[in-house]
Amino acid sequence: MKVLTSFIVIAVLLIAVVFGYSYFNNPDMPAKERVSAVGFAVANPMSSKAWRGLACPHRSVVSDLVTQSLAPKLCGTDNDGGAAERAERFRTEGPVSCWALFDALAEKNKVRFAGVIAGSEKPGAAVNDVCQRAKALIDK
């Protein structure tokens, strides 16, 4: 029982440290976005890109760029609304943490929707949600 209690205490302390790290790097980040960032990093503990992405001050912008850049492959749209060019600017001019976040989210989505992109699976509700969001962002 002491081992289990010790494990739980250590896990809670580690998550508190991750929240602290995220807060130290981005004190103005909204709480919901911070929880999403920490959850993504904790869910991908072996991904250095996910951990570096915690320090990105433009998390929502990067997430939108990933969604837009996925639209031509996943949704069949004509273009990505300039997401590729803006993502390239993040890579060359922006913080390294934001490019790492973009790369990690893009890889995650490629794996998540690989069957739909390849044409071997039918699009489901998750694909429809992503496509609606992507189209709304492109039309902005």
Q: What is the pLDDT of residues 66-112, one digit of tens each?
A: 888 888 888 888 888 888 888 888 778 877 788 888 888 888 888 88
* Number of Cβ within a 10 Å radius of residue 14: 11
Q: Residue 108, SS3?
A: helix
pLDDT at 30 (0 to 100) = 75
The structural domain count of the chain equals: 1
Question: Which range among 34-38, 99-103, 115-119, 135-139 shows the weakest confidence by mean pLDDT?
Answer: 34-38
Q: What is the pLDDT of residues 40-68, one digit of tens each?
A: 887 877 777 777 777 777 788 888 888 88
pLDDT at 121 (0 to 100) = 85
The whole model's pTM is what?
Answer: 0.71
In angstroms, the Cα distances linking 65 to 20, 84, 99, 133 are 26, 8, 11, 11
pLDDT at 45 (0 to 100) = 77
Q: What is the pLDDT of residues 12-21, one digit of tens each?
A: 888 888 888 8
Asked if 111 and 66 count as a contact pair (C-beta separation under 8 A), the reply is no
Q: Domain of 50?
A: 2-139
Confidence of residue 124 (pLDDT cuts 50, 70, 90): confident
